[in-house]
Amino acid sequence: MINNKLHPDDSFIQKVLQLKEIMEIRHSIFMMGNPGCSKSTCWKALKTANDIRGEPTKVVDINPKSISSDEFYGNMTLSNTWKQGIFSHYMKELGKERDTNPKWLVLDGDLDANWIESMNSVMDDNKILTLSNNDRIVLYNHMKLILEIRDLRFATPATVSRGGVI
């Protein structure tokens, strides 16, 4: 009879453990590798483990390359009203939740100078996103920013120095 159970791969388990360890010391993480190399599977495995251990983890997964910077962060409309962006909306909503269970904002898409430079203030020790309407949104300690990327080719040294790399 054939055993139908999956057997964990040691290198994959090591990556999940590295992600867990880096999350303990950093709030911004670059998960690098080619498409299909298990970046998403890695954080999903850690989320599942957290859930099983009694730390329900909420994840918001966004592809920042699929929308404009205005749709991502927000912008002032022609009538001079603020239109909330997807990223700023979810960052604000996750911050409003009263519990301190883990909350991850996953940005799944290659880096682009159009959106990554505005992320530097969130990624540094201030952990504050400042929007063009002067709204300031805090990334609280139980919140993490995970960037699933192919490489750091379009990242400045300032951006790279603000995150842990796996």
Distance CA 143, CA 141 (A): 5
Q: Are 132 and 74 contacting, i.e. CB atoms less than 8 angstroms apart?
A: yes
65 CB burial (10 A radius; 0-12, 13-18, 19+): middle
Q: Are 48 and 56 contacting, i.e. CB atoms less than 8 angstroms apart?
A: no
| pLDDT tens-digit map of 6-61 | 667 899 999 999 999 999 999 999 999 999 999 999 999 999 999 999 999 999 99
Structural domains in the chain plus CATH codes = 24-165 (3.40.50.300)
What predicted TM-score, i.e. pTM, was given to this entire model? 0.91
- For residue 1, what pLDDT is reported? 45
Average pLDDT for residues 87-105, to the nearest whole number?
97
Q: Which two tokens stand for residue 147?
A: 């960037």
What's 100's DSSP letter? -
